[in-house]
Amino acid sequence: MKIPFLNLKVQYEQIKQEVLPMITEAMENAAFIGGPQVLGFESEFAEFCESEHCIGVNSGTDALRFALMAAGVGPENEVITVPNTFIATTEAISQVGAIPVFADIYHDTYNIDVTKIAEKITRKTKAIIPVHLYGQAADMDPLLEIAGQNNIVVIEDACQAHGALYKNKKAGSLGIAGCFSFYPGKNLGAFGEGGAVVTQHEEIAQKIRMIRDHGQAKKYFHDMVGYNGRLDAIQAGVLRIKLRLLKEWNDARRKNALYYNELLSDVPSVTTPFESDFAESVYHLYVILVEDRDGLQDFLNKKGVSTGLHYPRPLHLQKAYAHLGYKEDSFPVTEKVSKRLLSLPMFPELKRTQIEYVVSSIKDFFKK
Ligand SMILES: *Cc1c(COP(=O)(O)O)cnc(C)c1O
């Protein structure tokens, strides 16, 4: 059996009948940038995220960068986030001229350890970016409290958490802004690049609308130096079609995760994902923890099971961040789990028989 890590082709088959006429119509109307598809998606995604405003942008990275800019984060400021995330989180911080400051993660959820934040706050700290990793919300209440006490804004990196819940509230709706990616492999993915910021604040929304469109409030009148960071109309059209199915797809991911958990419950060498009481994960990734991670990955590969690593080298140990001067052992939890985490195949259409095959292959490995 061959089991892909992700299969976007089956998803396409499900929506093909709706997508193709939408694309044809966009071509025939030559409606490529902005327009009704983008406006329609923005209002539907804002509603989905229980947020007042949504601004479609080019990518999740742009969403984070524009949110930081709109919140007034700039040169010399410090922004606290985790070393166990995709580099886009800190690229956005670096690109506005600010300095990423890392806080370690919990060993069970792999999300930011809120007890490690206070010690990182200085006079320069302007923002905290919690990452809702693998689809599970970080512990937002204590985090928002620390931020509030110190006059720091919270920008959520919800790029892996479309539809995830924190105490029954939508991920992305809790901070000053929530940032999403529509990279094809995300729970809500476009047919190319895409992203969005959601916010409850009119002022932040207006600033981001300007930033994404060359700093113009009115055509050819530029109030600031901005970016070309808009969402394409065809991508917005694809996202509108997919958004209607997102709840169903997220539910299917959760079902798959529960089935994995059940089948793996008698494999003591495997730690299955831990879900906090306050969180309802949307399982962007299904990540297990094992001692001999590399051995298991090789073995599964030979059995035809594709897996992923999220993430094998923590950001503070990346060459790109050597100038920050972090050494090994700076973040023991992140460093320890980075050598042990393995992402198993996870997508809504994954079949029970495929999950059974993945788990029986894992059991074979430990029987060797
Ligand atoms: C995907 C992702 C991003 C960046 O999104 P792009 O659309 O690829 O720019 C940022 N943060 C996290 C945690 C992500 O998973």
Q: How far apart are CA 3 and CA 343, in angstroms?
A: 13
Looking from the CA of residue 131, the nearest atom of ligand 1 is 13
Sequence-distant (≥ 6) Cβ neighbours of residue 262 within 8 angstroms: none
Looking from the CA of residue 193, the nearest atom of ligand 1 is 7
Which of these three, 243, 268, 298, is where a domain ends?
243
Residues 88 and 235 in one domain: yes
Does residue 197 have its Cβ closer than 6 Å to ligand 1? no
Q: Give CA separation, 32 vs 19, 26, 137, in Å.
A: 15, 7, 34
Tokens of 307: 């897996």
Looking from the CA of residue 64, the nearest atom of ligand 1 is 10
Q: How far apart are CA 147 and CA 127, in angstroms?
A: 8
Does residue 66 have its Cβ closer than 6 Å to ligand 1? no
Distance 121 CA to ligand 1 centre (A): 25
Residue minimizing CA distance to atom 5 of ligand 1: 60
Which of these three, 243, 271, 299, is where a domain ends?
243
Residue minimizing CA distance to atom 6 of ligand 1: 60
Q: How far apart are CA 45 and CA 123, in angstroms?
A: 36
Residues 173 and 279 in one domain: no
Coil/strand/helix, residue 45:
helix
Q: Give CA separation, 13 vs 4, 8, 16, in Å.
A: 17, 9, 5
Sequence-distant (≥ 6) Cβ neighbours of residue 259 within 8 angstroms: 352, 355
At 31 the pLDDT is 87
Looking from the CA of residue 132, the nearest atom of ligand 1 is 13
Does residue 171 have its Cβ closer than 6 Å to ligand 1? no
Sequence-distant (≥ 6) Cβ neighbours of residue 251 within 8 angstroms: none
User: Residue 279: what residue type?
Assistant: A
Q: How far apart are CA 138 and CA 148, in angstroms?
A: 17
Residues 60 and 165 in one domain: yes
Which of these three, 197, 218, 243, is where a domain ends?
243
At 358 the pLDDT is 98
Q: Please check whether residue 230 is in contact with residue 213, taking contact to mean a CB–CB distance below 8 angstroms.
A: yes
Looking from the CA of residue 88, the nearest atom of ligand 1 is 10
At 246 the pLDDT is 98
Q: Please check whether residue 221 is in contact with residue 209, taking contact to mean a CB–CB distance below 8 angstroms.
A: no
Alpha helices in the chain (DSSP H): 8-29, 36-48, 60-70, 88-95, 140-149, 202-211, 233-264, 293-302, 332-338, 352-367
Residues 172 and 252 in one domain: no
Distance 238 CA to ligand 1 centre (A): 19
Tokens of 314: 């923590």
Determine, yes or no, domain membership for 358.
Answer: yes
pLDDT, tens digit only, all 368 positions of the chain: 999 999 999 999 999 999 999 999 999 999 899 899 999 999 999 999 999 999 999 999 999 999 999 999 999 999 999 999 999 999 999 999 999 999 999 999 999 999 999 999 999 999 999 999 999 999 999 999 999 999 999 999 999 999 999 999 999 999 999 999 999 999 999 999 999 999 999 999 999 999 999 999 889 999 999 999 999 999 999 999 999 999 999 999 999 999 999 999 999 999 999 999 999 999 999 999 999 999 999 999 999 999 999 999 999 999 999 999 999 999 999 999 999 999 999 999 999 999 999 999 999 999 97
> What CATH number did the domain enclosing 97 receive?
3.40.640.10
Does residue 213 have its Cβ closer than 6 Å to ligand 1? no
Q: How far apart are CA 68 and CA 210, in angstroms?
A: 14
Give Cα 153 to chain centroid, integer Å: 19
Residue minimizing CA distance to atom 10 of ligand 1: 88
Does residue 194 have its Cβ closer than 6 Å to ligand 1? no
At 217 the pLDDT is 86
Looking from the CA of residue 58, the nearest atom of ligand 1 is 7
Does residue 59 have its Cβ closer than 6 Å to ligand 1? yes
> What CATH number did the domain enclosing 303 receive?
3.90.1150.10
At 161 the pLDDT is 98
Does residue 61 have its Cβ closer than 6 Å to ligand 1? yes
At 368 the pLDDT is 76
Distance 61 CA to ligand 1 centre (A): 6
Determine, yes or no, domain membership for 101.
Answer: yes
Does residue 102 have its Cβ closer than 6 Å to ligand 1? no
Half-sphere exposure of 179 (CA within 13 A, CB side): 29
Instruction: Match 């916010």 to its residue by tokens.
Output: 199
Residue minimizing CA distance to atom 2 of ligand 1: 159
Q: How far apart are CA 233 and CA 41, in angstroms?
A: 9
Sequence-distant (≥ 6) Cβ neighbours of residue 29 within 8 angstroms: none
Domain encompassing residue 291: 246-367
Determine, yes or no, domain membership for 2.
Answer: no
Does residue 181 have its Cβ closer than 6 Å to ligand 1? yes
Residues 161 and 96 in one domain: yes
Distance 62 CA to ligand 1 centre (A): 9
Count the domains in the chain: 2
Tokens of 268: 């003591």
